[in-house]
Structure 1
Amino acid sequence: MAMEYFDEKIVPILKRKLPGSDVSGRLMGSPPVPGPSAALTTMQLFSKQNPSRQEVTKLQQQVKTNGAGVTVLRREVSELRTKVQEQQKQLQDQDQKLLEQTQIIGEQSARLAELEHKLREVMESAVGDAAASGAGGEGPRKGEKGEGDQARQRWR
């Protein structure tokens, strides 16, 4: 009577709480107790440890699928590495061009500064010459226009 109560009431509860238990309520891997259920337990243990052909086939298909996925990913990584190398080369080329253009700009700025300096000297000497000739009284009087001013007026 106690065994029937155990089998009917307690074993189902243990099965729900312990998913790795066998029919008698023992955990998988525990040594079987000699008796009528020992052979059944050994067979169940053997079947759980040795996967079926379907499981093996399924695992083989997963391995093939994963292998193909890895191959695709390796190819993509290789392509991405190639692109990175190309972009690094482009960056080096652009850096070189930037350096060359910066040097050219520096040279042009120096040349421009030199030309501005010469222009100031020419303007100062022209103003100095005009002031010297104006001091002698030969320049145009106030309100009168000189020949250069008249020529400039015509061109406007």
Structure 2
Amino acid sequence: MPCVGNSSNDMLQLINLPDVVLETILSNLTYDEIARNRTVCKQFDRTCKKLLNRGFNLMEKYHAQCLRAVKCQLPRRESERRSHPLARHCDILTAIETRISMLSMTFIKYVDLNLCCFIPGKVIDEIFRVLRLIRDAKTPPRAHEILQELRDISSMAMEHFDEKILPKLKHSICTSVVSHVGTYDLPNASLMISHHTNSGNITLAHGLSPEKLNQTFRKIQNRAKRNYISVMSVRSKINKLKLRLKRQGFQMRRQNIKIQEQGKKLREQDTLIAEMKKHLEEWEQKIGDLKAELSRSREETQKPDTIETCKRKHIDRLKSRESVRVQSKNLQAKKRKLIVERKSSTSPKDVQFKKFLSDLLDTEHMEDEIPSTSN
């Protein structure tokens, strides 16, 4: 065994050392070696138990510190965490956290009752090894590779504790309870009865008479009855609390159903509000178009005088053309009348004048027909 001398003198010297010095010496060993040295003597067992429990607490604190440091450096989004360089560190630390919680559920309850210590020291060494590797390595191995040894030894430790050690602890707990109940409310805190199989007689210690013994047993029975009544009252209270919890659970389920219905109604209202907003936007667009048309029509109606003047000018032109045509018709009629009423003459001057008048009438007639066709 390490840390233990070969001669008996060295062993005595180690045992005679103060507890603080012995703890300092043993703390230089690994936790697996500390767990193995528990079998040396009672003093070693007491000191090693203290060191193992302290090591488990230190391991929990160190793991929590490492996990906190890694989570502070990780991004908040889950999608960004997967591609982060510290993603593998976080996975390994989370798996170690699960393993520590399983070990704690197995051992710590009995450690707190001072029935045993954290027995598997090799598990503490392995967890510290993995944590140091994660701290120093930038790209550690995958979780299933680096945690294979830890899973194996921790599972073996928990199975060994449940199968081999826990039944003995339960038996010791039962015997301690029985030993405490043995001196319950008896005179002088002890009652010694020895049975002699040969004579069949019963001898009572301290000179107790049967009457006192019967009174003592009656007191014990009365107290047991009172305890039974108190236990029954506590059970009735527990049953009432369970019934109240059931009612509360039923009310919570009803409230959850109502919340779901309200959420459904809220979603429907949201859809209706979205449709109404869509219709409002369409109406606003239509109103904007109408406003634009209205402003355009107002701009057009701001120039009524120019349009009316154009119309009047056109009407005046038509009237003037009509008056000119009427005057030309009257003049032509007069000329024709004059030609008809004029006496025929054979003189060359009269013939020339007649030809001039006929040509003039033909040209005027052509001018009258041209504007009429244009109209």
Deviations 1:103-125 (A, max 9, x none): 00110011011101101110111
Equivalent residue, structure 1, for 2:285: 124
Match of 2:243 among 82, 92, 96: 82
Q: Which has the higher contact order (CA 8 A, sep 6+)?
A: 2
- 2:214 corresponds to 1:53: yes
- How many residue pairs match? The answer is 103
Choose which of 225, 228, 233 in structure 2 pairs with 1:67: 228
Taking a change above 3 Å as real, the CA distance of residues 76 and 61 of structure 1, as seen in their structure-2 partners, is same
Residue 298 of structure 2 aligns to a residue in which SS? coil
Q: Deviations over 1:4-37 (max 9, x none)?
A: xxxxxxxxxxxxxxx99xxxxxxx89xxxxxxxx
Take 1:53 and 1:60, find their aligned partners in 2: how far apart are those partners? 10
- Per-residue CA deviation, residues 120-147 of structure 1 (Å, 9 max, x unaligned), is 1101111111112212335998xxxxxx
Q: Larger Cα Rg: Structure 1 or Structure 2?
A: 2
SS at match of 1:136: helix
Taking only the aligned residue pairs, the percentage that are identical comes to 24
Deviations 1:59-115 (A, max 9, x none): 011011001111111111111111100000000000000000000011001101110
User: Which letter maps to 1:56?
Assistant: F
Q: TM-score, normalised by structure 1?
A: 0.57
Which structure has more helix as a fraction of its residues?
2
Judged with a 3 Å threshold, the aligned counterparts in structure 2 of structure 1 residues 140 and 107 are, in CA distance, closer, same or farther, namely farther
The answer to whether structure 1 residue 105 and structure 2 residue 266 are counterparts is: yes
Q: How many Å separate the matches in 2 of 1:115 and 1:128?
A: 20
Counterpart Cα distance in 2 of 1:69 and 1:132: 92
Taking structure 2 as the reference length, the TM-score comes to 0.25
Quick check: 1:136 aligned with 2:297? yes
- How far did residue 45 of structure 1 move? 5.6
- 2:287 is matched by which residue type in structure 1? A
* Correspondence 1:96 to 2:250: no
Partner Cα separation in structure 1 for residue 250 and residue 301 of structure 2: 68
